[in-house]
Amino acid sequence: MNISIVGTGYVGLVTGVCLADSGNTVYCVDNDESKIKSLKAGVIPIYEPGLKELTDKNVKLNRLYFTKDLREAVGKTDVVFIAVGTPPQDNGEADLSNVFKVAESIADSIDCFKTVIVKSTVPVGTCRKVESIIAKKTKNFCVASNPEFLKEGAAIDDFQRPDRIVVGINFKKDNKKEAQAAKEIIDEIYEPFVRTGAPIYFMDTDSSELTKYAANAMLAVRITFMNEIANLCALTGANVDNVRTGIGSDKRIGKSFLFPGIGYGGSCFPKDVKALYQTAKRHNYEFKLLKAADEVNASQKEIIVDFILKHFKGNIAGRTFALWGLSFKPKTDDIREAPSLVIISKLLSYGAKIKAYDPIAMDNTRKIFSEIEYAEDMYGALKGSDGLIIATEWNDFRVPDFDKIKAALKTPAVFDGRNIYDSEKMFELDFNYYSIGRFPKNNN
């Protein structure tokens, strides 16, 4: 099949590469000229494990092309995915301007039947609007919703081995033939990825759009709930590791997404929680739980700074802190809404200095914070620092040389926002060790 993907970011590029790898001819379109130039030169503009290898392979096989010419790409293909960004506006609503702009351009380019698939995360009702935009120009199309559930850092595996695929298509009196054609095309596209039995759930577009927000909101609320339990553990002397294992073995609860930390970040959870809250508000429904999750998450991102202020009795002006981890989670260079950004700006506002290290995300962070120091390696960040902060649980940080850490730091204070060390061991090693929801036994 010939497929174009409009928007060549974390979702669009992974989708394009994986669909090329399953044998389709794919045209990845983006209006960012530098991105297309770099992809054509074989340079992948984002970090995602395995993406470079799979891109190179499919380019070589003449199954994967990059272009900024949307009209040309649509002309050559039967299926068009929309995978452009839907960033938050100031009021929290999703900015759909690019989705609609792309829909207009697709409408202008349609010359034969096209299946237009909205993969961007969009509020309920958006596909119906996309449909009405294209319908002004032609009747020879069908719009489907197909939200993406991949996780950055494991995006290729998630795409190729999905838990499920959700597709929204509206079957109406006047579009049965087109809707049926779109359903068959989507079945064919995903057939290679569901051979192990993962279901494809077909539904209407409103339900499909809302499914995506409901999934992200539930995960964000679950993380937030655990963070509040952890905060309560710290106050009462309970250990959140014990509580987590105690509840996770309950089949109704399950074990995943129960690790407490310094708040969820990334390009999805924060914006999707806000956007879903706004959708509810537009329907005169106050979704109190989402508002609370958003507020708790914002304060959770500051908890490490609270620990630091407590440890240094409020005076950190002129002190330097080593910061390990900048990306919002391991195995990605994405720093959108990362807790590290809040930690950096808070510490700077108190007059502290920062020496940061991240295996992948330093270039992206430099674009926001040029005033902080960046170390060549993780131990280089420690020399002469007053404490170590861990903001991302990269594997590199999990089994460090603790003697080296202690020798390099001015004071043996470790502020672990990801609970990657054993608190008893840190106690034995005489560190002042702060973590989330585990009582700091030897701290002053």
Ligand X SMILES: NC(=O)c1ccc[n+]([C@@H]2O[C@H](COP(=O)([O-])OP(=O)(O)OC[C@H]3O[C@@H](n4cnc5c(N)ncnc54)[C@H](O)[C@@H]3O)[C@@H](O)[C@H]2O)c1
**Measured at the alpha carbon of residue 250, what is the angle toward residues 244 and 256, in degrees to the nearest 5?**
55
Q: Of 47, 15, 38, 43, which Cα lies nearest the Cα of 28? A: 15
Question: Shortest Cβ distance from residue 127 to ligand X (Å)?
Answer: 13
Measure Cα distances from 426 to 228, 301, 312, 315, 440 in Å: 24, 23, 19, 24, 10
Structure tokens at 304: 């490490």
Question: Shortest Cβ distance from residue 95 to ligand X (Å)?
Answer: 10
Question: Shortest Cβ distance from residue 244 to ligand X (Å)?
Answer: 25
Question: Shortest Cβ distance from residue 376 to ligand X (Å)?
Answer: 28
For 178-233, the DSSP string reads HHHHHHHHHHHHHGGGSTT---EEEE-HHHHHHHHHHHHHHHHHHHHHHHHHHHHH
Interacting residues toward ligand X by CB under 6 A: 6-12, 29-32, 35, 83-86, 98, 101-102, 120-121, 148, 150, 152, 267-268
Q: What is the rounded (10 degree) CA torsion for 82, 87, 89, 94?
A: 50
* Residue 387 dihedral angles phi and psi, to the nearest 5°: -175, 165
358 in Cβ contact with 394 (< 8 Å)? yes
Q: Which is nearer to ligand X, 5 or 221 (CB)?
A: 5
374-392 b/e (C-beta count within 10 Å ≥ 16 → b): bbeebbebbeebbbbbbbb
Q: Which is nearer to ligand X, 120 or 224 (CB)?
A: 120
Q: Which is nearer to ligand X, 134 or 409 (CB)?
A: 134
Q: Which is nearer to ligand X, 30 or 294 (CB)?
A: 30
Helix 51-60 / helix 10-21 crossing angle, nearest 10 deg: 50
Question: Shortest Cβ distance from residue 385 to ligand X (Å)?
Answer: 32
| CA 327 – CA 381 distance, rounded (Å) | 16
Residue nearest to ligand X (CB): 9
Structure tokens at 235: 């106050």
Residues 6+ apart with CB under 8 A from 416: 390, 433, 434, 435, 436
Q: Which is nearer to ligand X, 55 or 175 (CB)?
A: 55
Q: Which is nearer to ligand X, 32 or 302 (CB)?
A: 32
Task: Name beta bridge partners: 142.
Answer: 115
Structure tokens at 310: 């407590």
The DSSP 8-state label assigned to residue 397 in this structure reads G
Q: Is 268 considered catalytic here?
A: yes
In which residue are the tokens 């039947």 written?
Answer: 113
Please pick, among 28, 142, 233, 268, the residue that the annotation labels catalytic. 268
Task: Name beta bridge partners: 416.
Answer: 390
Q: Which is nearer to ligand X, 58 or 86 (CB)?
A: 86
Question: Shortest Cβ distance from residue 178 to ligand X (Å)?
Answer: 24
**Active-site positions?**
268
